[in-house]
Structure 1
Amino acid sequence: MLRPADPPDEKDRRLTVVTVRYFAAARAAAGLPSECVDIGDDANATVADALDAIAARHGVALHKVLGACSFLVDSVAVRDRAMPLRHGAELDVLPPFAGG
C-alpha cells in the first residue's frame, strides 16, 4: 500500500539566516548590537534582502541610517547589494565614522 509522502522536516527547509552586527548610529537606530535574521528559504538571498528585512523590522530610523552605511560580509567589504548571502554569514552594518 502506498502512502502519501511526509511533509519536509524543518531541517530540510532551505533557510538563509544571517547574523547582523550593528555599529555606532546603526546600533542606536536598531536598538541592539546584533541579531539573527531569517531572510527566507530562498537559496538566492542577497545583501539587499537582508537590508530590506532589517529595515522592515526596525523602521524609519534604521532605514535612514542604512542609506549612508557600508557593509562587510564575513569581514570582507561589499559594495554590491546583489551579492548572495550564504546561511550563517555575518553582515556588519557600518555607518560613517568620524574622528582620527
Structure 2
Amino acid sequence: MTTAPPSATVRVRYFAGARAASGVNEETIEVPQGATVRDLVAELAERHGDTLTRVLTACSFLLDGVAVRDQTLTLPDGSGVDVLPPFAGG
C-alpha cells in the first residue's frame, strides 16, 4: 500500500487586482509539506496563467497576517496567505 506524501493545506485570499486576475476571491490549495511561500506563488502562477503571473510579480504577501519579507518561509498546515497587489488612491 502506497501512502501519499504529507501535504499542507493553505487558504489563499486574493485582493483587488489579484482577485480580478485570478478570477476567485479565495481558494484552498494543497502543497507538499515543507513548501515555501515562493513555491506557493509558483503554483498560483501555474494555476491561473499569465495575467495573474504578471500581477504576482508586484504583490506583497501576508502569512497568517504577518508581512512576508522572506519567500523561503515554510507554509504551515492550515495557514492563510493573503495576496496583496499595490494599492493606489487614498
What is the TM-score of this pair, normalised by structure 2?
0.93
User: Is contact 1:20–1:90 with CA below 8 Å preserved after alignment?
Assistant: yes
* Structure of higher CA gyration radius: 1
Task: Give ranges in structure 2 of 5+ residues lacking alignment.
Answer: none
SS in 2 for 1:21: strand
Gapped runs of 5+ residues in structure 1? Answer: 1-5
| Displaced runs of 4 or more, over 2 A | none
Report the identity percentage.
50
Following superposition, the deviation at residue 57 of structure 1 comes to: 0.2
Q: Amino acid of the residue matched to residue 56 of structure 2?
A: L
Q: Does 1:36 align with 2:36?
A: no
Report the structure, 1 or 2, having the larger strand content. 2
Higher RCO, Cα 8 Å, sep 6+: 2
Residue in structure 2 matched with residue 89 of structure 1 by the alignment: 79
Q: 2:69 aligns with which of 70, 79, 93?
A: 79
Q: How well do the aligned residues superpose, as a CA RMSD in angstroms?
A: 1.3
Contact residue 25 and residue 95 of structure 1 kept, 8 A: yes
